[in-house]
A and B are shown apart, each in its own frame.
Chain A
Amino acid sequence: MKEGYTLAELEQVYEKCLSVPPEERDKLIDQTCGNRESLKTILREMLKSEDTAIAYFQELQQSLAGGWSPGEIPTLEQGEVVGNYRVDSLLGKGGMSNVYLAERCDGEFEQRVAIKCFPARSVRVRKENVKKAEQQILAGLQHPNIARLLDAGITGNGILYFIMEFVDGEAVDTYLKRMKPATSGRLALFKEVVKAVAFAHSRFTLHLDLKPSNIFVNSLGQIKLLDFGISMKLNEDENHEPGTFFGTPSIAAPEQLAGQPLSAATDIYQLGILLHTVLSGTSPVRSYAASTEQLTRIGPLTDTPELQISSAIPAEPASIIAKCTQANPDERYNSAADLLQDVKRLEEGYPLFAMPQSNGYRLKKYIRRNRLQVISFSLIILSLLAGLMASLWQAREATEQRDKAVQNEQVATLTKNFLSNLFREADPSFAQGDTLTVFQLLEKGHQQLSGYNGPAAIKLELLNTISSSYRNMGDYDNAGKVLNQAENLALDSMLTISPPFIRNVVQMGLYQRDIGNYDSSAILLNRALNLYEKIDYPREDSMYTDVLKRLAYVYKNKSKFDSAEYLMKETIALEENIWPDHYNIQLAESYYIQAAIYVDLKQYDEAIIYQKKSLDLCERIMGSNFPGTLANLNLLSGLLKSNGNAEEALPYNRKAKRIAENIYGKKHAETATNTYNLAHTFSALDQYDSAHFYFSKALAIQNDVYKDEFNSWHISSYNALIALFIKMNNLDSAQYYVNKTLTVSESPKISTQKRAKAYDWAGEYYQKAGDLQEARNYLQLALAEYISYLDSTSRLVVLTSKKVDALDSLLQVQ
């Protein structure tokens, strides 16, 4: 080296310098290098440019295989006409594009647009592709939150252009920095983005570049997604080579970096990055430099961009971000709609699908949810109390308005404080030290109440709440104890007719119902309804209709189906008035109950109508991936099937299976059941191959879920497969499962019902196989099992004994 130092020398000192804190480096250089100025200079220069050097080489590395230097981005001149628009001014510069503001110039009507232009040679654009793009623009994305793509083409100068709706606003990151909204506002904004993306996905359009600068907030505070579909249109080349990368490296999904096929999951990944940015103002991508450097190595899962979720983001949104940004696209949310669902659940305090489903987590959610419920419940009580007290006082001596106000306010404060303190303590995020369980919490609440000197009405209401919580959690002993206490309090304090007292009666009714005492329950619930009427409580109130509904269900349990149906009709009529838009989950529950009652009444057409109503409402309010939606789908498909309409049932079964997979995962008993149901429908439709496929799939899931085959699910699957193979006349396969089902049925873990079925199917098989003696033996065994738990007149007993008789006579003839 001609500069007065050797590289070995430089290397040594340089490393030493890097190992000490920056402020000590100058001293070290002086000590080590003495008066060798050239060595000192280069050292200082190198140390100064450590960071810039890294960035410089990364950029150079990226530009090597075809980046565009800024000088080569095409420019449009002011006044130049592109498409039907006249270029006005430059709006912004991108990595390899310029964006111009332009106005319509054919005098049609005034419209401002943005023109984004690229060097045409930047992409392998074929004429037919541009045509295709145009066609797609015509059928384009019409959504209030998506800036519309109006036109695309190539100018004579080889400039590729896209004309878009002009959005007057600012990028979402700038907007958030300026407005500093609360988390709820940020989530709301994010939800709008996800909704728009979900819409586009439903139109088979991906965004692939969901960076903050492509997400605008317009002057009305509305979200507008820019550049939708541009990346994808350019990516649509049928000669798409593996390894092509489109997008922005800092937000690119691993599959983009690795040049693998892109999908909706790619947008979901970017939405995860966006959520992080929206919530914390920073990107979770620690260094995309590292990722570009490591781009596309063998083993894509180990070479993914390094993300770090900011500790400022709470665990739950962090879990959503983590689920979105899974390296493996299959492990992300299945769809933007699912992501939206989880964001909604986050807002509403339900457990997230993204969170590890530990008991601790569920408990925490339970408390949080119930705290909100209890607090809002207490607020309802307060408003009722205020009204009630006013009327009580009016009935007695006149009291000063001022005093009433003071007293009401006290009542409000007391109740609110009591409840919120109680639940605040139980919430692990507030509590110090050990987390209280819900039971401990209730016990504590109960104890605290004994020393409570507030108004009796409030104390009663709190006791009701605690009792119902115990009851909901299955602790009937404590529920009953607290109720007794409440009843005594009500009697002692002469609070005979008041909403808290009536609710106490309701609670007693529900308690009786839950311990199986339907007669007492019906009496108590009827009494509560009478009391409501006595105090002129409005019938069009969900508190009232709820009692009606519960009473109807008790009648259903008592097999008084006509009364049940009548009460539900009334309930539904009232509730449809309470919520004129019919958009309420309680109404969905009412439809659901009414459907169940019609099933009992064997009025299947009516049942189907209500089941469909419940399904529709449930899905609209809670989304597809909701257990209630799943239950509705299952019941509806079952109803349709037993009504002889398996064809109509099929799509519902398919959907149910998909939802079960979404909610519970691919390996879950619930998923197995739904897969089984789907297979069953195929079987009813005589589509044997599909039936076989799904029965086998269900069986495979069951094998994963259960540690052995000695359970009723396995035996059901075996029996179903026997039935199927008999139908298909495939006796070898049938025999295989006959042996299995007989082996399993001998286990004491198997219920009599299932064992009977196993013998029954074995009998069917042997009959079909021509071994009448064996067939008779098994049917006889089946009959013995049936008789052990069924009436001698029941259908199965009669049917089976007929079969045995028939076989007997056949055997005699032989």
Chain B
Amino acid sequence: MNQANNKARQVNNSPEKEDITQYLRQAYEGDEEAYAFIFPVIYNELRKIAKGIRFNFHGAATLNTTAIVHEAYLKLAKGESQWESRKHYYSVAAKAMRQVLLNAARSKKAIKRGENIKTESIDEVHELLVMSDATSAKLINFNELLLQLEAEDTIYGRIVECRFFAGLSIKETAEVVNISPATVKRKWQMARNWLFVHLSKISS
């Protein structure tokens, strides 16, 4: 166990900023133990923020995944704005975001819909991470297809996570995944359109 981990234990699993950045760096560099520790921390933070979302008035964009990922970073890293640290963070958070959404979609599928919401209980409504039926279904299919791509090369999954779930730019994705922007662009275009073609077949 390294030093950072020990220190984190002492403060009862609520790691300090320095620890977080250290864990992130270690996880980025391939330390599986650090990854195992930091993933749930980020996952929980993302989930917490996602649950707190107030829905957008007009139904289009709201506090979207990009913003959630970003906000979680602000909370966790408390002002640490070095791109190096953010890069480490994104490489974990992109996957965590995917997981949060997928779990929400799965639980949504399990919930029986059509309940009337009474005025009195409005306050509690937003405690649920609500996702529309259509979106949950799309997301589950999306994930299935993405798994197919990943079966051939995991890089597709990482790129899609960065671009789609964390909302990173081509350039940022390239840094996080550690390949050239041109490659990211090519692989992202390919994956996106391949996914779309297959998704539209499923839904039709």
| Residues in chain A within 8 A of chain B (CB atoms) | 1, 6-8, 10-11, 14-15, 18, 42, 45-47, 49-50, 52-54, 56-57, 60-69, 71-73, 94-97, 118, 120-127, 154, 156-158, 209, 230-231, 234, 237, 241-249, 252, 257, 259, 292-298
Per the bound structure, the CA–CA distance linking A259 and B63 in Å amounts to 8
B202 in contact (CB, < 8 A): no
Question: Please, which residues of chain A bring their CB within 8 A of the CB of B78?
Answer: none
Q: Which residues of A contact B60 (CB under 8 A)?
A: 62, 67, 95, 248-249
- Cα A312 to Cα B172 in complex, Å, equals 35
Query: Would A60 and B61 count as touching, CB distance under 8 A?
Result: no
Among A65, A120, A298, point to the contact of B119 (Cβ < 8 A): A120
Q: Sorted from nearest, which 4 A-B pairs have the closest CB atoms?
A: A96-B59, A95-B59, A53-B196, A158-B117
Is A296 a contact partner of B139 (Cβ separation < 8 A)? Answer: no
Q: Given A11-B190, A60-B135, A241-B52: A247 and B149 within 8 A (CB)?
A: no
What are the residues of chain B within 8 A of A293 when measuring CB–CB? 66, 167, 169
Give 4 new A-B contacts, CB below 8 A, not counting A61-B66, A126-B123, A295-B67.
A64-B65, A96-B59, A241-B54, A244-B54
B189 close to A95 (CB less than 8 A) = no
> Within the assembled complex, what's the spacing in Å between the Cα atoms of A316 and B188?
41
* CB atoms of B57 and A234 under 8 A apart: yes
Cross-interface CB contact of A49 among B67, B133, B169, B193, cutoff 8 Å = B193
- Interface-side segment among B9-17, B18-26, B28-36, B124-132: B124-132
Q: Mark B163-191, 1 if CB is under 8 A from A, else 0.
A: 01001010000000000000000110110
Residue of A nearest to B149 (CB): A7
Chain A residue contacts of B138, Cβ below 8 A: 60
Contacts of B196 in A (CB 8 A): 46, 49, 52-53, 56-57
Q: Which residues of B contact A69 (CB under 8 A)?
A: 132-135
Q: Is B118 an interface residue, CB under 8 A from the partner?
A: yes
Contact (Cβ within 8 A) A10 B61: no
Contact of A11 with B119 in the complex, beta carbons under 8 Å: no
The verdict on A61 contacting B167 (CB below 8 Å), with A121-B122, A127-B119 known, is yes
Chain B 24-72 residues near chain A, CB threshold 8 A: 50, 52-68, 70-71
The answer for the CA separation of A69 and B190 in the assembled complex, in Å, is 27
State the Cβ distance, A251 to closest chain B Cβ, in Å.
11
Residues in chain B near residue A120, CB distance under 8 A: 117, 119, 122, 125
Point out which of B53, B56, B131 has the most chain A C-beta atoms below 10 A from its C-beta.
Answer: B56
- How many angstroms between the C-alpha atoms of A66 and B59 in the bound complex? 8
**Size bracket, chain B contacts:** 35 or more
Do the beta carbons of A121 and B117 come within 8 Å of each other? Answer: yes
Closest B residue to A50 by beta carbon equals: B193
CB-CB under 8 A from A296, the residues of chain B are: 63, 66-67, 70-71
Can you identify 12 A-B contacts, CB atoms within 8 angstroms?
A11-B186, A14-B193, A65-B50, A66-B56, A67-B60, A69-B133, A71-B134, A95-B59, A245-B62, A248-B60, A259-B63, A293-B167
- Please determine whether B56 and A10 come into contact, CB atoms closer than 8 angstroms: no
Least CB distance, A746 to chain B, in whole angstroms: 50
Instruction: Out of B53, B54, B135, B186, name the residue touching A63 (CB < 8 Å).
Output: B135
- The one of B66, B126, B132 in contact with A67, judged by C-beta atoms closer than 8 angstroms, is B132
CA gap between A120 and B126 in the complex, in Å: 11
A241 to B148, CA, bound (A): 38
Within 8 A of A (CB), among B141-166: 142, 148-149, 152-153, 156, 164
Q: Of A42, A52, A94, which one neighbours B58 at CB under 8 angstroms?
A: A94
Contact B139 A64 (CB under 8 A): yes
Chain A residues with CB below 8 A from B194, complex form: 7, 10, 42, 46
- Given contacts A64-B139, A66-B62, A71-B134, whether A125 and B192 have CB atoms under 8 Å apart is no
Nearest CB of B to A252, in Å: 8
Q: Which of B61, B123, B131, B169 has the most CB of A within 10 A?
A: B61
In the assembled complex, which residues on chain B have CB atoms less than 8 Å from the CB atom of A118? 57
Q: Give chain B residues whose Cβ lies under 8 Å from the Cβ of A96.
A: 55-59
Q: B193 and A244: CB pair below 8 A?
A: no
> In whole angstroms, how far apart are the Cα atoms of A294 and B170 in the complex?
11
Chain B residue at smallest Cβ distance from A122: B55
Contacts of B57 in A (CB 8 A): 96, 118, 122-123, 209, 230-231, 234, 246-247
Whole-angstrom CA separation of A47 from B194 in the bound complex: 10
Known: A46-B193, A293-B167. A7 touches B119 (CB 8 A): no
Check if B88 is an interface residue, CB within 8 A of chain A.
Answer: no
0 or 1 for each of B86-123: is its CB under 8 Å from A? (1 = yes): 10000000000000010000000000000011110011
Query: Please, which residues of chain A bring their CB within 8 A of the CB of B197?
Result: 42, 45-46, 49, 53
Minimum CB–CB distance from A306 to chain B (whole Å) comes to 13
Instruction: Write the nearest CB–CB distance from A375 to chain B, whole angstroms.
Output: 49
Q: Please, how many angstroms separate the alpha-carbon atoms of A126 and B52 in the complex? A: 15
State whether A209 and B132 are in contact (beta carbons under 8 Å apart), knowing that A1-B148, A53-B192, A65-B63 are contacts in the complex: no
Contacting residue for B81 out of A14, A156, A247, A298, CB 8 A: A298
Does B200 touch A at the CB level, under 8 Å?
yes
A18 touches which of B62, B126, B152, B189 (Cβ 8 Å): B189
> Which residue of A is nearest B57, CB measured?
A246
